[in-house]
Structure 1
C-alpha cells in the first residue's frame, strides 16, 4: 500500500507540477466519490442527463439559428441559455467517467477548468433566467414601455455584462479546486478532484457566496417577477389564462427543485464549519452533506436538460402542423413579446408571453 501511495503521489506531483501538503490547519472537502452508493446514483443520473441534454439543447440552438426567421429578445436569451446548457452537457462525459471509475484521470488543470466551467454555467443559467423573467415582467406589466426598457440593443449589452460577471465570480472554483489523493472505505488510495480550503473561513466564503449570489437573490427576483406577472394575468380575462399560469409555475418550480438540494448541501457544510471537529452536531451534519454531495451535484445538472422538455410542452400544438420546425415556430412567436406597438392585443401578448405564441392567430386585434 505504501508503494502504491508513493506512486500515486509521484504521478500527482508530476501532473500538477506542485506538491500538495496538508497541515493540521488544512480543511479538506469530502470528495463526491467518497460514497459508493451515492456515486452510483450520481453516475446513473449523469448518464441520462447526457443522453437527453446534449441533443435537446443542440436542437434548440439549431432551431433558432437555422430555422427561426425572426429572433426576439426572448429568443436571444433562450439561445444563450441553450448554449450554456449544451456546453455543460458536453462536459458531463468527464464527470460520468469520474464517478464511474471513482478516480480523477484528467490531471490538475482539467480539474480546475472543468469545475470552473460548471460554476460559470450555474451562474449563467440563473442570471439568464432572471433576465428572461425581468423582460417578461416588463412585457406583461408595462407593455407600452417594453420598447424603451427592454429593447434588443439593451438586452445584448446586458448579456455581455452578464457573461463578463459570470466568468469573474466563478474564479473561486478555479482557485480552490485541486487534485489530491484520498482513501476510500477499503483504504485504497485514489486521485480525487475536490475543493481544498486552507482555512475554515474559505469554506464559509465560497459556499455562502454560491448560495446567496447563485440562488437566493436571483431566485427571489424570479419569484417576485412571476408573482407580479400572475397578478396581471388574473386581471385580464382570457381563455388560456390557466395554461399560462401553469407553464410559468412549471419553469420556476422546476429550477428550484433541481438546484435547491445542492444549495441546501452547501448551507449544511457552512453550518458544520461553525462547530469544532469533536462536536456531535458537526459530525451529524457531516454525515448528511458529505455522502449527499454526488447526488445533489448531479441533480443540478438535470436543470440544464429540462428546458428542452418545457419548450416541447409549450410548442406541442405546432408539432402536427410544422413537424421538426415546431420549436422554430414557437421561438418566432416570441417577437410578439415586444409587439404591442404593432397592434397586438394586450390579452394576446399576455397569453403568448407564457405559452409560446397562440397570439399569432389574433395579430390584428386592437388594444384593450
Structure 2
C-alpha cells in the first residue's frame, strides 16, 4: 500500500475522524484563483487601511461623526486584511494545518468584520438621514459621548451575533484526499438554515433595508428644498454602500442556495444540484467578499485626489474633514430653509388675517 493511500485512510492529526468527499477547497482552479485574488487584496488593502487610520489619528484636525465612523470601518477592514495571509496559505496548500482553535477564531473574526462593515455603513446612512431630514436634531447624535456609546453597543452586538462561527466551524478530514478542511459542519439541516439565515438577515437584509429607506428619504427631502446641489459626503457614502453590496451580494446568494439545499430531502436531485453549486462557489464568493475591505481606500483616493497636490500625505484627512463640513453645512442650509418656509407661512397667515379684519 503506497503512502498516499495511508494518508487518505488515516485521520489527520488536526482533524476529527469524520470525513467529507467534497469541500470548498476540492477544486484546484477555484482555490488558485482565490489565492491570487487574496494576494492582490492584501497588497492593496492592508497598507491602504493603515494609511486611513494614520491619516485620521495623526493628520485630521477635527474628528467629526463621519470621520469617526470611517475610522472604525478602516480598523475593521485592516484587521481582516491582517488575517488574509492565513487564508492564502490555506487555499494554496488546500489543507488546513493551523488547528481547530485557529479555525474557529479566524472565521469568527471574518464574520465580525462582515457585520461591522455593513452596520457601520448603516450608521453613516442614518447620520446623513438625520442631518438632512431632521437638521434641528443633529446635535443630539453628534456628541462624542453619544457616538462612542453607540459604537460600543454596535461592536458588542456584532461580537455576539458572530458566535455561530465559533460553534459551527470545525476542522474535518477530507474523504477522498489527504489533508483537512476548516468549514461549517452541522449535525442537522436545521443548523444550516439557522446559521446562514442569521447571516443573511443580520448581515444584509436588515441593514440594507435601513440604508435604502434612508436614501429614499434623503432624496425626497433634497427635492423639497431649495438647495439641490450634490454634496461630496453623499457621493462618498453612496459609493461605499454600492461597493459593499457589489462584493458581498454573491456571498449572500450562495448562503441562500445553501439554505435551500438544506430544506430539500436527502438524495433528491435538487438537493444534489444545489450542493454542487454552493460547494464549488463558496471559496470564490468568500474571496470576492474580501475585496470590499480593500476597495474603500481606493474610493477615498479617487475622491480626494484633488487634495493631493495641495495637502500631500494629509490629503485623505482633508477629504474626511471636507465631508464633515459638507454634512454640517447641509444641515444648516436645511434648517435655514425650514425656518424660511415657516416665516413664509406666517406671512401668509398674517395677510389672511388682515384681509379678514378689513372685510
Q: Contact conserved, 2:25 with 2:31, CA < 8 A, in 1? A: yes
Cα RMSD, aligned residues only:
2.6
Distance 1:29 1:65, change over 3 A: farther
Please state whether the residue corresponding to 1:180 is helix, strand or coil. Answer: strand
Question: Structure 2 length as normaliser, TM-score?
Answer: 0.86
Equivalent in the alignment of 1:252:
241
Equivalent in the alignment of 1:361:
none
Please state whether the residue corresponding to 1:193 is helix, strand or coil. Answer: strand
Q: Residue deviations 1:151-194, cap 9 Å, x none? A: 332111010001111111101001110111104xxx32111111
Please state whether the residue corresponding to 2:110 is helix, strand or coil. Answer: helix
Equivalent in the alignment of 2:250:
261
Equivalent in the alignment of 2:182:
193
Please state whether the residue corresponding to 1:103 is helix, strand or coil. Answer: coil
Deviation (angstroms), 1:237: 5.2
Equivalent in the alignment of 1:162:
154
Please state whether the residue corresponding to 1:258 is helix, strand or coil. Answer: helix
Q: Residue deviations 1:100-126, cap 9 Å, x none? A: 111112111111110000011011111
Number of matched residues? Answer: 335
Among 58, 61, 67, the residue aligned to 1:69: 61
Paired with 2:304 and 2:259, the residues of 1 have a C-alpha distance of 42
Q: Contact conserved, 1:30 with 1:194, CA < 8 A, in 2? A: no
Deviation (angstroms), 1:240: 4.6
The answer to which of 47-56 and 242-251 deviates more is: 242-251
Equivalent in the alignment of 1:5:
8
Among 64, 75, 82, the residue aligned to 1:90: 82
Q: Contact conserved, 2:12 with 2:180, CA < 8 A, in 1? A: no
- 1:174 corresponds to 2:177: no
Q: Radius of gyration: which is bigger?
A: 2
Paired with 2:146 and 2:296, the residues of 1 have a C-alpha distance of 24
Ranges in structure 1 where 5+ consecutive residues have no aligned partner: 14-18, 23-27, 349-368
Among 319, 325, 331, the residue aligned to 1:336: 325
Paired with 1:34 and 1:162, the residues of 2 have a C-alpha distance of 37
Among 60, 73, 86, the residue aligned to 1:81: 73
Please state whether the residue corresponding to 1:273 is helix, strand or coil. Answer: helix
Paired with 2:324 and 2:206, the residues of 1 have a C-alpha distance of 29
Equivalent in the alignment of 1:316:
305
Deviation (angstroms), 1:196: 1.5
